Amino acid sequence: MVKNIFLDIDGVCNAFHQHVFTSLGLLYADDSWYPVDCGWDIVAAANRLAGYERFTRSGFWKSLTREMWADTPVSAEFAYILGWAECKVGRDHIYFLTSPTLDPDCVAGKLEWIQTHTPKWMHRQYMIGPAKHLCAKTGALLIDDSDDKVDEFEEEGGNAILVPRPWNSLHGINALDHFAEQFPWY
């Protein structure tokens, strides 16, 4: 039985990749344009979309401003995920669980995103840090777009749902269809 649900922000609750790529002037209409063979490496994907080695790893991450983090639009699935979670465990048991970059503007931007794009009852329900698996236990469910984070969470005793995205092992699967299959089990 699920008691607490942890939601990743970037790539799950918001359309991070699309927003970043278009903000950086890269041609990117939607996630069908993501170069699947780049996998989780967003910098390699950005360079592939640019058509040349435009970004170094550090240069790419430094180019993301606080406003870019804060202004990222919600994902197409966010309302569905949040509505399901609220019905399943109630408002007091849903938390954002997000891993920021080392830039303080990333954390500030993510907090602004929460304040701007989520219901008021979610404004203080967040945890920030890369060790998501530390929240894993019986009754905990992580919804994330990272194969590694999902695997680590499950290895520590939690349940997890991987959100299909072009950069993970479920690329090519419709996210809403996947949720319809997964959610009744939890």
Question: What pLDDT, in 10s, does the model give residues 68-124?
Answer: 999 999 999 999 999 999 999 999 999 999 999 999 999 999 999 999 999 999 999
Q: How far apart are CA 93 and CA 89, in angstroms?
A: 6
pLDDT tens string 16-57: 999 999 999 999 888 889 999 999 999 999 999 999 999 999
Q: Where does the chain hold its CATH 3.40.50.1000 domain(s)?
A: 4-15+70-185
HEC string of 99-129? Answer: CCCCCHHHHHHHHHHHHHHCCHHHCCCEEEC
Q: Provide the residue type at 12 as one letter.
A: V
Overall pTM surpassing 0.85 (yes/no)? yes
CATH superfamily of this structure's domain 4-15+70-185:
HAD superfamily/HAD-like (3.40.50.1000)
As beta bridge partners, residue 95 has: 6
* CA quadruple 133, 86, 123, 101: dihedral sign: positive
